[in-house]
Amino acid sequence: MSYKHKAGDGILWIQPDGPGTKLYPLGCHNLGDLSAPRGDVTVRFCPDLSMINSWYVSAEFQGAPTAVTTSVEADVEEFMDWLERVVECGAPLYVNKYKKGRRDVFPGYTRGWLLPTARITGETLSNLYAKDAENQDMSMQSFDISSSTWLKYFRLVASREETTETEALNDIDFGNAMACWDECGGAKGVCEDGAAAGDPVPGSASSLADVLFKTKATDWTAGAANPFATDEIISSIVRVQIDDETMRVIVARGTTDAANPAEIAYSDDNGATWNLVNVGATLGQYVARQGGLFALDPHNVWCVLTGGGIAQSTNGGESWTVVHDAILTTEDLNMIHGPDENHLVVVGDNDTILVTIDGGVNWYVPDNVTGSGDDLYCVAALTDCRWWIGTGSGNLYKTIDAGETAMTLVTFSGSGAGEVVDIEFVETSPYNLFCGYLVHNTAAPVGRVFHTVNGGYDWRQVAQMPTNAGLNAIAVCDCNQAKTVGEVQGTTAMIANVGMGG
């Protein structure tokens, strides 16, 4: 039997300085009903020609939602309430439900609701004064609250997915939107359609690296053809929507080839055929790690290379233009990410960070890097100024001013050892500032996944992670579901689903 929450199981939290900053519990407060109008349904009728005074529904559509609203009531105390302090600017407001443990420990929630843009739209004071001396009722204040949207979040657990494939997997791409059922029974949910790739199949005669595909109707299955040559690994993979029928898969070679420059391959038919493309002319370059490919759309696809190379494709990977080649650095570059086509951040070995604000025309080194001297493995650039960076020594850094001041070291359970191999937040604003995932390998290595819903102020370890020998990448579908891949465990590839648990 699942646990049924009661009113007393919850607590409110406020984040006065925005996502990623300190949270404060609002203990002696009452929360009114949360109302989230989703938009009225409009129905259009046409006359039924087979019958007098009869009509049929020709179309129906749902209108735009309106603001999420609620109210909070609190005692009037000697000191200013937190809601009084944020009345001008608003602040993220959280409602957490707890099954056990302390309610003033944020990550102990079983589920919760976030109002990311909560603003105070009205204040009411009651029982401030009474002429009757026997009236000792509490003076109260009530705050009307409105937010443009809300986010539901849950306690997450992991479970291994079945596959007969036997190779280590280096990267994975998912992230499809929810589609509702239709009259033919079709429906697609999040995390149902994706691709993954990695090392050559061990022990095979050809020693070729497969690309695996997953759909709603099929389990993980290798495509019919292989993109690269014998003994060449696939380090990175992305997908881009070419048209209403075609999802292009783009992969990068992750092995040096002294006789060739870096190579990219793309397929428009789920791996039945591949097109091989050279990137630049520098022999021996390659894409070193997962995240070395990054795609905003077919016209903005990027890759970073060993030896300080950066290239861009404006046609879905069919051709590439080198925009940086060992100019500011000759270090191996590991990952590229950005919030839009103009603002991109690249990280690499030996504490290397490169930034562009004009879509790759010019690059610069920020005033401050992490200062660790570590190899930087991953970056999530959520805005032009707010970045998260993970290192090869297990550290996590953030900046909220594009590195103008010293970057902040952020700790989580087990940080400072092992390696942070991937970090990814949801794509949709404003949730991208709040909800994200972190992949950390211990020194063993054992891979672990962490989840945040408050912009990285807390990182909660996902429970029930399957036994593994290290994880390599994560693909985020939404705030409550993701897929992760890693090294071979037992005799088969490691693919795990992260999602809602009991």
DSSP assignment of 44-107: EEEE-TTSTT-EEEEEEEE-----EEEEEEEE--SS--HHHHTTTT---EEEEE-SSS-TTSGG
Which pLDDT belongs to residue 387?
98
Instruction: From 210, 223, 173, 211, select the one nearest 193 (Cα to Cα).
Output: 173
Report the Cα 5 to chain-centroid distance in Å: 28
Residue 1 vs residue 54, higher pLDDT: 54
Report the Cα 65 to chain-centroid distance in Å: 24
Domain ranges of the chain: 7-37+66-153, 155-175+190-500
Cis before 200 (ω within 30): no
Note the pLDDT tens digit of each residue in 443-480: 999 999 999 999 999 999 999 999 999 999 999 999 99
Which pLDDT belongs to residue 134?
78
Which pLDDT belongs to residue 187?
59
Q: How confident is the model at residue 492 (pLDDT cuts 50, 70, 90)?
A: very high
Residue with tokens 């409009």: 42
Q: How confident is the model at residue 206 (pLDDT cuts 50, 70, 90)?
A: confident
State the greatest distance between any 2 C-alpha atoms of the chain, in Å, as a whole number: 94
Both structure tokens of 13: 């939290």
Q: Which run of H or of E encompasses 314?
A: none
Examine the pLDDT at 336 and tell me if it is beyond 90: yes
Query: Domain 155-175+190-500 is in which class?
Result: mainly beta
Examine the pLDDT at 179 and tell me if it is beyond 80: no
Q: How confident is the model at residue 204 (pLDDT cuts 50, 70, 90)?
A: confident
CA distance 161 to 483: 10
Least confident interval from 47-51, 359-363, 475-479: 47-51
Q: How confident is the model at residue 2 (pLDDT cuts 50, 70, 90)?
A: confident
Query: What is the average per-residue pLDDT within 210-224?
Result: 92
Which pLDDT belongs to residue 137?
87
Which pLDDT belongs to residue 473?
98
> Full-prediction pTM beyond 0.85?
yes
Residue 191 vs residue 280, higher pLDDT: 280
Examine the pLDDT at 178 and tell me if it is beyond 70: no
Examine the pLDDT at 271 and tell me if it is beyond 90: yes
- Spell out the residues 6+ positions from residue 134 whose beta carbon is closer than 8 angstroms to its own: none
Examine the pLDDT at 185 and tell me if it is beyond 90: no
Note the pLDDT tens digit of each residue in 405-422: 999 999 999 999 999 999
Query: What is the average per-residue pLDDT within 229-234?
Result: 96
Report the Cα 188 to chain-centroid distance in Å: 20
Which pLDDT belongs to residue 293?
98
Domains 7-37+66-153 and 155-175+190-500 share a fold: no
Which pLDDT belongs to residue 26?
95
Residue 429 vs residue 433, higher pLDDT: 433
Determine the topology of domain 7-37+66-153 in CATH.
Pnp Oxidase; Chain A (2.30.110)
Examine the pLDDT at 176 and tell me if it is beyond 80: no
CA atoms within 13 A on the CB side of 346: 37
Which pLDDT belongs to residue 228?
97
Examine the pLDDT at 49 and tell me if it is beyond 70: yes
Instruction: From 254, 353, 348, 358, select the one nearest 312 (Cα to Cα).
Output: 358
Instruction: From 440, 425, 445, select the one nearest 487 (Cα to Cα).
Output: 445
Q: How confident is the model at residue 218 (pLDDT cuts 50, 70, 90)?
A: confident
Give the chain's mean pLDDT: 94
Query: What is the average per-residue pLDDT within 231-242?
Result: 97
